[in-house]
């Protein structure tokens, strides 16, 4: 159901998503939406509990990224384009995680210093 959309682990974060080929007879809870998708000339449907507009937004964002990478790097082979775009997206994700971690550590250090300063002030130091 993609709770916490900003986090991604090793498992797909859309817990109730499946393609037509892989979903027959597997799910204990049937996904509520069937969404047709076409990317790079490949058409398929996914079944998910996510809102269709959210999924369509992800598809549009992916198409935009694919187009940007294709134009900038002049990649026309769909498989290579998909792989390079995936690698660039993972790189962006990891860099964002690193920045978030650094900001979190900065905030924690600043909070500790503020707390220390307040307590020293209470002691008259």
Domain annotation covers residue 9: no
pLDDT 10s digits, 19-60: 654 444 454 576 799 999 999 999 999 999 999 999 999 999
β partners of residue 19? 46
- Write down the pLDDT at residue 99: 80
pLDDT 10s digits, 74-100: 999 999 999 999 999 999 999 988 788
DSSP string of 47-82, one letter each residue: EESS-HHHHHHHHHHHHHHHHHHHHHHT---HHHHH
Domain annotation covers residue 2: no
Domain annotation covers residue 61: yes
Based on the structure, what is the number of domains in the chain?
Answer: 1
Average per-residue pLDDT in the chain?
81
β partners of residue 33? 48
Domain annotation covers residue 10: no
Domain annotation covers residue 11: no
Domain annotation covers residue 63: yes
Average pLDDT for residues 117-121, to the nearest whole number?
A: 84
Domain annotation covers residue 12: no
> What residues make up the domain containing 65?
18-122
């Amino acid at each position: 159901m993609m709770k916490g959309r900003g986090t991604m682990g090793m498992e797909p974060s859309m817990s109730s998503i499946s393609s037509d080929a892989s979903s027959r007879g597997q799910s204990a809870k049937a996904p509520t939406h069937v969404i047709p998708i076409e990317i790079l000339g490949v058409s398929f449907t996914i079944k998910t509990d996510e809102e269709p507009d959210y999924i369509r937004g992800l598809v549009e964002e992916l198409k935009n990224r694919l187009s940007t990478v294709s134009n900038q790097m002049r990649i026309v082979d769909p498989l290579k384009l998909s792989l390079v775009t995936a690698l660039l997206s993972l790189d962006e994700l990891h860099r964002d995680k690193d920045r978030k971690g650094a900001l979190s550590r900065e905030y924690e250090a600043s909070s500790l210093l503020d707390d220390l300063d307040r307590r020293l002030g209470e002691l008259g130091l």
